[in-house]
Amino acid sequence: MSRQGIFGRGRSTARRAGAIAALGAVLGLAACGGGDIASPFVPIPPGMPPPEGRALPMVDVVSGGERPSAQLTDWAEGLTGDTHVSVAALNAYGYAAAQLAYHYPNCNLQWNTLAGIGFVETRHGTYGGSAIDEFGNAMPPIIGVALDGSPGFASIPDTDGGELDGDPEHDRAVGPMQFIPETWRYYGHDASGDGNPDPNNIDDAALSAGFKLCDYGRDLSTEQGWTDAIMSYNASAEYVRDVRDAAAAYSVPTRAR
């Protein structure tokens, strides 16, 4: 289902390309460009171990507690300087990947795929002056444009009475990973430990995005599985390329296959 948010298909190709190129320049990596998405870059391809220093450490995904993702802080602090992603966001992506490895071991979701989506959607919860606080919440909340059928955007009448997005007429994408209310109702999970799935919390949003990507038995270590997963998030060839390039920049320099 198409679910354009702040950085959905209404955003110009030139601006998208510029943002991805800037990311590659900042990280000093060669992000993949253009090409046929039938053979996209697969972050951390099958049989290839994660880059040294970027593999997740052991994570306790059972005990829970207050903000369980914080157990990855040492790992995240070691990456934040190179990736220019906040520790809070890296914690969320890493913990979500660990949870999905536990619940869906055959999905093979890697943290940098979630980081690629987080970059394209809201710059990891920093769009419009927002920031991720110590509890993982985007402050102020990030609310997308009304999905009212305007050029470049889907038409989705309100599905939640404005409870999540504040709009009683049309749905809007919400939070760091830009979920529309009807999708959140299906995939929303609590990862922050407070018992309340909240799309404005990056821990909850990253884990919920992981469950959506891994749905239908997808294997993200294959090119087709990875492409299908990203297309399920936003059915746009341009979007797949953008996420691919951002995920590549958070992984290792490689060529598009």
> 226 near 220, Cβ under 8 Å?
yes
DSSP state of 10: T
How large is the average pLDDT for residues 75-81? 91
pLDDT level of residue 10 (50, 70, 90 thresholds): very low
Specify the higher pLDDT residue, 145 or 167.
145
Q: Per residue in 141-152, pLDDT tens?
A: 999 888 888 887
pTM recorded for the entire structure: 0.82
pLDDT level of residue 77 (50, 70, 90 thresholds): very high
Confidence check: pLDDT of 115 > 80: yes
How large is the average pLDDT for residues 56-80? 87
How large is the average pLDDT for residues 51-65? 76
Q: Per residue in 224-244, pLDDT tens?
A: 999 999 999 998 999 999 999
| The pLDDT value given to residue 31 | 39
Quote the CA–CA distance of 214 and 202 in Å, as a whole number. Answer: 18
How large is the average pLDDT for residues 178-189? 92
Burial of 242 (0-12, 13-18, 19+ CB in 10 A): buried
CA distances from 249 to 7, 106, 111, 114, 185 (A): 19, 24, 12, 12, 31
| The pLDDT value given to residue 163 | 82
Q: What percent of the chain clears pLDDT 70, i.e. is strictly above it?
A: 77
Quote the CA–CA distance of 152 and 12 in Å, as a whole number. Answer: 10
Beta strands in 4-56 (DSSP E): none
pLDDT level of residue 114 (50, 70, 90 thresholds): very high
Cα angle at 74 between 76 and 27, to 5 degrees?
Answer: 30
Domains for the chain: give ranges and CATH numbers: 13-48+64-249 (1.10.530)
| The pLDDT value given to residue 12 | 43
| The pLDDT value given to residue 130 | 94
Confidence check: pLDDT of 254 > 50: no
